[in-house]
């Protein structure tokens, strides 16, 4: 820094100061917008979707290690949908908000994995609710629901993969254990209470017993 600046040097440094100040004003509100927050129940849904819909092609670590602003997450998620990630526009928008709020450029290097985060999230009351009455599952609907939500881990035709074989699994006869596992998750198995309705779970169950 010059103590007695020449006229050009002075002009240069005041311009620099002005630009830095303008920059600070311009950037501050933008950074706030970069970190949207997602309600806990929606965060559960988002983390579950990442395990079920994104981990089909690559590890969740590839996602967890990124630190991107919201516009880049929008582009990334759009690209993944284009490549085959199975997401509705609403689910894609939720994932962008969740990822931009969590994996932004200012986020710490070490974040818990999506799996760890999901395990520590408290189920909400709605997710803990028990079934109101007997539901009749429709196997024809369950097939598609299984393909979207379960197949990535339980394999095509429910013959098993990263998760156990569900076709002819004795848990299908023990409805209490089936519902407990699917609604609340178990170990690496995500909880589905925030993502699927009870009717949809009943439809999947109905389809599984036909396998
Ligand atoms: C149909 C397969 C497929 C699905 C589903 C998928 N991805 Fe990818 N993804 C890829 C491929 C291929 C690459 C690039 C290859 C690599 O680096 O391993 C990639 C790379 C990435 C990267 C690294 C940065 C980049 O842009 O290359 C991120 C982040 C990512 N995916 C996020 C996601 C998210 C979030 C989802 C769920 C919404 C998802 N992916 C679902 C195939 C997929
Ligand atoms: C991200 C991977 C993943 C997805 C997606 C997934 N599961 Fe699982 N599931 C698992 C794993 C792993 C286990 C074993 C859990 C354990 O260690 O006890 C499991 C266990 C289960 C069990 C208990 C099986 C038994 O023998 O006790 C049921 C039932 C089940 N899953 C149903 C479903 C349904 C229905 C869906 C879709 C709505 C689904 N899962 C989606 C990974 C997954």
Report CA(1)–ligand 1 centroid distance (Å): 47
% pLDDT > 90, the chain: 51
Give the gyration radius of the chain's Cα atoms: 24
For 67-121, write each residue's pLDDT tens digit.
Answer: 999 999 999 999 999 999 999 999 999 999 999 999 999 999 999 989 888 877 7
Taking a C-beta distance cutoff of 8 angstroms, is the pair 33, 73 a contact?
no
Among protein residues, the one whose CA lies closest to atom 37 of ligand 2 = 150
Q: Is the CB of 76 under 6 A from ligand 1?
A: yes
Lowest-confidence region among 15-29, 130-144, 168-182: 15-29
- Answer with the residue of higher pLDDT: 99 or 131: 99
Ligand 2: residue of 153, 157, 191, 199 to mutate (most ligand atoms within 8 A of CB) is 153
CB atoms within 10 A of CB 206: 19
How much is the pLDDT for 65? 94
Q: 43 and 195 in contact (C-beta within 8 Å)? A: no
154, 205, 211: residue to mutate for ligand 2 pocket, most atoms within 8 A of CB: 154
Tell me the two tokens of residue 107.
């986020």
Mutate to test the pocket of ligand 1, among 56, 69, 80 (most ligand atoms within 8 A of CB): 80
pLDDT bucket at 40, cuts 50 / 70 / 90? confident
Rounded Cα distance, 103 and 68, in Å:
6
- Mean pLDDT in the chain? 82
**Which of 29, 149, 36 is CA-nearest to residue 98?**
36
The pLDDT, as a whole number, for residue 76 is: 98
Whole-number Å distance between alpha carbons of 115 and 190 = 8
Tell me which residue has its CA closest to atom 8 in ligand 2.
189
Q: Which of 195, 189, 151 is nearest to 44 (CA)?
A: 195
* Separation of CA 183 and ligand 1 centre (Å): 27
What's the start-to-end Cα distance of the chain, in Å?
77
Which of 63-67, 105-109, 128-132 shows the lowest per-residue confidence on average (mean pLDDT)?
A: 128-132
Residues 149-156 have a mean pLDDT of 94
Residue nearest to atom 17 of ligand 1 (CA): 62
* Residue 164, CA atoms < 13 Å, CB-side half-sphere: 12
Q: Which ligand is nearest to the CA of 65?
A: 1
Ligand 1 pocket member 131 (CB < 6 A): no
| More confident of the two residues 18 and 54 | 54
């Amino acid at each position: 820094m010059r103590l007695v600046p020449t006229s050009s040097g002075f002009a240069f440094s005041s311009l620099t100061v002005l630009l830095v100040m303008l920059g600070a004003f311009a950037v501050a509100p933008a950074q706030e917008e970069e970190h949207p927050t997602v309600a806990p129940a929606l965060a559960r849904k988002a983390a579950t979707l990442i395990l079920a819909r994104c981990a089909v092609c690559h590890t969740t670590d590839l996602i967890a290690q990124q630190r991107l602003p919201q516009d880049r997450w929008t582009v990334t998620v759009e690209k993944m949908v284009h490549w085959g990630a199975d997401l509705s526009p609403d689910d894609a928008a939720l994932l962008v908000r969740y990822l931009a709020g969590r994996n932004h450029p200012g986020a710490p290097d070490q974040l818990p994995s999506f799996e760890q985060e999901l395990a520590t999230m408290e189920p909400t009351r709605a997710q803990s609710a028990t079934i109101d009455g007997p539901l009749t599952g429709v196997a024809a609907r369950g097939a598609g629901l299984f393909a979207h939500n379960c197949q990535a881990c339980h394999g095509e035709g429910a013959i098993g993969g990263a998760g156990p074989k569900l076709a002819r699994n004795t848990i299908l006869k023990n409805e209490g254990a089936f519902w407990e596992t699917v609604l609340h998750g178990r170990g690496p198995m995500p909880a589905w209470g925030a993502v699927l309705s009870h009717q949809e779970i009943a439809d999947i169950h109905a389809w599984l017993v036909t396998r």
